[in-house]
Each structure stands twice: as C-alpha cells, then as structure tokens.
Structure 1
C-alpha cells in the first residue's frame, strides 16, 4: 500500500508539471491571437478565457501569475479567469500580480498596479452593462444607449479578498486591503482596510504594522 501511495503521489507531481507546461503554451497562443502584450515569465495554472476586441488592448507586466479553473487553487467556486475588453477598452496589469479565478470585464479602462494580490472568484467591472433607464433597457432588441462606464484603478500593493465585486468608477488606494466577500462601489484611500456589502472603512493598515511590531 505504501508503494502504491508513493507511486500515486509521484504521478501527481509529474501530471501537474506537464499540466502547467501545457497551460503556459496554450495561454501564450491565446495571448498571441488576442494581440496581448505580455512577458513570457508568467506562470499559468489553467487556461484563461479571453475576448479582446481588435479595437481594444490588454497589457500584462512581468511575473504575472494566475490560477484558472476548478483544478487549481481549490478554494471553492473556482472558475476560469476571464479577460474581456470591448471596442476601445484597455486593460493593464502591472508587475508581480497574482489572481485566482478572476473576471475582468472592461468596457473603458481597468488598471491594476504592481504587487497586487486578487483573491479567488473576484470580479472587476467598469460598466453597468445595461441602461439605468427602464424604457431603454426593456427595448427589444435591448439598446445599450446611455450605459455608463467609468475606469477602475487598483493601485500598487493592494490585497483583495476572495469573492469580492469591484464596480465601475472605483479607485483602490496604495497598499489597501479589501475584505473577502465585499462589494466595492466607492473609492478607497491609501493604506486602509474596507469590508462588507457595501464595503465600509474598518481601520488603517498602519494598525496591523503596529501590532506586528508589538508582538
């Protein structure tokens, strides 16, 4: 039985190494087809879904790392990563950014800075998708007239907990933290912790640093 367990574990190691290589190759090809600007030092566990308009753009910095799909970073509610940029939209991801099962849906502009960590199943939208005017929204076929888009900016060093929703027009300040399961519809200053639905101020990140020093 011990030999069988060792064989199984060894087989898993080989499988994951091959799966990682396969994911990287397929992701490179998909990035190329979608005219994504990227560095080849990215780490891909799983394959993302991309829909980048020929009139849109997607730029990725160095050391990008992501988990995509139900067999990677198993934390519940795993989905593939989605990167969508419509006509004229721009997505930009900085250096040393990590994310898991994240959906970035961009109709105007979404900017993510350096050293950002985004938890599992987080979604980032810079659009309302539908008109807020019921008469327009309920037309058949539906009209997109008056749909509101506003850029989203996530600054350097931000940590976003899993299952968070970030809505249009939001800026999350440098080194701030967003608690898991939050819905963020207003901007967050630098060095603050926010959480909840809707997300509200909890405390400054300086208090965490102080408590670590005191320990």
Structure 2
C-alpha cells in the first residue's frame, strides 16, 4: 500500500508540473492571438478564457501569476480565469499580481496596480451590462443604449478576499483589504479594511494604526 501511495503522489507531482508547462505554452499563444502585451516571466497554473476585442487593450506587468480551473489552488467554486474586454475597453494589470479563478469584465477601464492579490472567484465589472430604464431594458432585441460604465481602479498593495464582487466606478486605495464575500460599490480609502454586503468600513490596517501611534 505504501508503494501505491508513493506512486500516486509521484504521479500527481508529475501531472501538476506537466500541466504548469503546457498551460504556460498555451496561455502564451492565447495572449499572442489576442494582442495582449505581456512578459514571459508569468506563471500559469491552468488556462484562462480570453475575449479581447480588436478595439480594446490588455496589458500585463512582470511576474503575473494566476490559477485557472478546478485543479489549481482548490478553494471551492473553481472556474477558469476570464479576461474580457469589449470594444473600447482597457485592462491594465501591474507587476507582481497574483489571482485565482477571477473574472475581469471590462467595457471601460479596469486598472490593477502592483503587488495586488485577488482571491478565488472574485469578479470585477465596470459596467451595468443592462439599462436601468425598464423601457429600454425590455425592448426586443434589448437595447444597450445608455448602459452605465465607469472605470475601476485598484491601487498598489491591495488584498481582495475570495468571492468578492467589485462594481463599476470603484476605486480601492493603496494597501486596502477587502474581506471575503464582499460586494463593493463605493470607494475604499487607502490602508483600511472593509467587508460585507454592501462592504463597509471595519477598521484601519495594521500599517495605518502604526502610523497613528507614531504620530501621537
């Protein structure tokens, strides 16, 4: 039995190492086909889904890391990563960003700074997708005229817990923390912790509290 277990564990190790290599190759090819600007030092566990309009842009900084799919960074509610940019959309991801099974749906602009960590199953939308006017929304075919869209800006050092929803027009300040399962529809200042549905202020980060003590 011990030999069987060792063989199984060895097989798993080989599988994951092989998966990482072929994921990187296929992802690089998909980035190229979608005209994504990227660096070759990215680490890919799994293959993302991309839908990048020719009239949009997608830029990725150095040392990008992501887990995509049900066999990587298993934390429940696994999915592939989705990177979608509609006509006129602009996605910018900075250096040293790590994400797991996220969806970025961009119709305006979504900007993620350096050293940002985004937890599993988080979604970021910069659009309402549908009109808020019932007459327009209920037309057949449905009209997207007047659908609201506003940029989402996530500054350096932000940590976003898993299963969070970030909606249009939100700015999250430097080193802020968003608790798991939050729904964010308003700005979060730098060095603060917010959580809940809707997300509300919980407390200052450790760094912010330390600054207060030093200043006192």
Where do 1:144-159 residues align within 5 Å? 144-159=144-159
> Aligned residue for 1:181?
181
* Equivalent pair of 2:191/2:207 in contact (CA under 8 Å): no
* Equivalent pair of 2:192/2:208 in contact (CA under 8 Å): no
Where do 1:1-215 residues align within 5 Å? 1-206=1-206, 210=210
Of 199-208 and 90-99, deviating more is 199-208
Whole-angstrom distance in 1 between the partners of 2:153 and 2:14: 39
Q: Aligned-pair RMSD on alpha carbons?
A: 1.0
Aligned residues: 210
TM-score (norm 1): 0.96
1:12 shift after superposition = 1.0
1:131 shift after superposition = 0.2
Whole-angstrom distance in 1 between the partners of 2:82 and 2:72: 15
Whole-angstrom distance in 2 between the partners of 1:102 and 1:157: 18
Whole-angstrom distance in 2 between the partners of 1:209 and 1:163: 27
* Equivalent pair of 2:53/2:85 in contact (CA under 8 Å): yes
1:133 shift after superposition = 0.2
Which deviations, in whole Å up to 9, do the C-alpha atoms of 1:82-121 show, x marking residues without a partner?
0000011100000000000000000000000000000000
Whole-angstrom distance in 2 between the partners of 1:21 and 1:206: 38
Which deviations, in whole Å up to 9, do the C-alpha atoms of 1:148-196 show, x marking residues without a partner?
0000000000000000000000000000000000000000010000000
Whole-angstrom distance in 2 between the partners of 1:74 and 1:89: 30
TM-score (norm 2): 0.95
3-state SS of paired residue (1:131): coil
3-state SS of paired residue (1:32): helix
Which deviations, in whole Å up to 9, do the C-alpha atoms of 1:49-68 show, x marking residues without a partner?
00000000000000000000
Whole-angstrom distance in 1 between the partners of 2:207 and 2:43: 33
